[in-house]
Amino acid sequence: MHSLERIEIPAAVLAILTRLEEAGFETWCVGGAIRDALVGDPQQDVDLATAATPADVRQLFRRTVPVGIEHGTVGVLDDDGVLHEVTTFRRDVRTDGRHAVVEFGVSLDEDLARRDFTINAIAWHPLRREWRDPFNGRDDIDAGIVRAVGDPIQRFREDRLRILRALRFAARFDFEIDDETWQAARSEVAGTASLSAERVHDEWWKSCATAIRTSSLPELWRESGVASVWLSDGAEREVDNALIDRLRDPLLVIAAWRRNVEAILRRLKSSGSDIARGRAIDRGPARPDGNDARAVRRWMSKVGPAAADLVALAGDAAWVTEVAAIRARGEATSRAELAVTGDDLVASGVVDPGPALGRLLSTLLDAVLDDPSLNSRDRLLELARNRSDE
């Protein structure tokens, strides 16, 4: 049995619920915050479901934001300016697998019946201290099961993203996916191709941020078929679960699992900076030619900013400790880290501005990569003059 004392509703949310109830509108606490409280991970972002229409809500509260009027959701701002979502009881009347048209004026139980999984179809009334759990979501939480509400095929056809959400919840709570729900997900997975890349991107990022074991995600995405739909641009690598479990960065999890990272990130409509990171990882090389300091410095110079990502992907490789040592000693691996600048070289009369200046700086860096002791202003200027004389 669940202890009612585990459901602590923030005072601001309780005040909104109380006002709606006093105005004659049945109102319940619903959503992920209730689920999370029951699994021992309490959240403050508690949503409300109510019999009040959006117009009723906007009339009752002075400060509101129409965050999703067409779906019945109004944001109510509390005294501190924090937004709390209040949504009218609703049911879907039409859906295309990505968007739904809803109808208001239904009961709480009908509202819960349109939700994706039983663990998300639980309501709590803090004034009455009463549960509403028509699909036994609390039992599924106790059993560690992700189960669709009602017919799983229908649930997934209503919104294909629910397939990815099932995988996320399984990884986040280390739950098993109910067999009927799992088979329906696999049978309907081709439909996820119709989702927007942005929604898939967000699900992958959320999944990596919340999974108990990050390594469970490649397995879930592979076995469900989602990887074949969305990550087919990159062939699968031999998965090192121990390494992936140490990674939280969603981009690096992809890189540890799939090849051709840049193409995958483009497919997922990732940011320009993330695509650039993926491109640099692909170009590599993934490791130095040797474990000695000279080889590692030259590798760091070649891969540039990608060194940090490639080090993370290398795990316990012997040369990784040398990267840290080079950084600790402050040894230069780029022209920007040289003890002289292009302006210094021009001012000294060694070289004129132009292509020759760039070549000279590269020559100096090459020397410093071999012998870091050369990286002082005087020694580099002397070396530059000697090269110029030659």
285's CB contacts (< 8 A; 6+ apart) are 299, 302, 303
Q: Residue 28: which of 40, 17, 12 has the closest Cα?
A: 17
- Residue 45 is assigned to a structural domain of this protein: yes
Q: Domain total for the chain?
A: 2
Q: Which residues contact 300 (CB under 8 A, 6 or more apart)?
A: 307, 323, 326, 333
pLDDT value of position 219: 96
* Domain-embedded: residue 250: no
Domain boundary residue among 127, 143, 159? 143
The answer to whether residue 359 sits within a structural domain is yes
Which CATH number belongs to the domain containing residue 25 in this structure? 3.30.460.10
Q: What is the mean pLDDT of the chain?
A: 92
* Chain mean position to CA 352: 49
State residue 2's pLDDT score. 47
The domain boundary residue, chosen from 111, 143, 175: 143
Residue 109 domain-assigned? yes
Specify the higher pLDDT residue, 239 or 103. Answer: 239
Least-confidence region, from 90-94, 310-314, 367-371: 90-94
Q: Please say if the pLDDT value at position 100 is more than 90.
A: no
Tens of pLDDT, residue by residue over 30-44, are 989 999 999 988 776
- pTM, two decimals, is 0.88
Please report whether residue 29 resides in a domain.
Answer: yes
At 225, list the tokens.
């078929």
Residue ending a domain, choose from 93, 118, 143: 143
Better-predicted residue by pLDDT, 168 or 90 = 168
Q: What is the predicted pLDDT for the residue at 69?
A: 81
Beta bridge partner(s), residue 104:
90
Q: What is the pLDDT of residue 70?
A: 80
CA distance 307 to 324: 11
H or E segment to which residue 200 belongs: helix 197-210
Give residue 91's pLDDT band: very low, low, confident or very high (50, 70, 90): confident
* Count of helix runs (H) and strand runs (E) in the chain: 21, 11
Take residue 136 and report the two structure tokens written for it: 């036994």
Domain region containing 366: 334-390
pLDDT for the residue numbered 234: 81
Q: Is the pLDDT of residue 344 over 50?
A: yes
pLDDT tens by residue, 55-77: 999 999 999 999 888 888 999 99
What pLDDT, on the 0 to 100 scale, is given for residue 4? 43
pLDDT digits (tens, 9 = 90+) for 101-150: 556 768 999 999 999 999 999 999 999 999 999 999 999 999 999 999 99
275 within a domain of the structure (yes/no): no
H helix or E strand, kind and range, residue 155: helix 152-158
How many C-alpha atoms does 77 have within 13 Å on its Cβ side? Answer: 9
**Non-local CB neighbours of 386 within 8 Å, separated by 6+ positions:** none
Answer yes or no: is 223 within a domain.
Answer: no
Tell which wins on pLDDT, 95 or 18: 18
Q: Is 382 part of a structural domain of the chain? A: yes
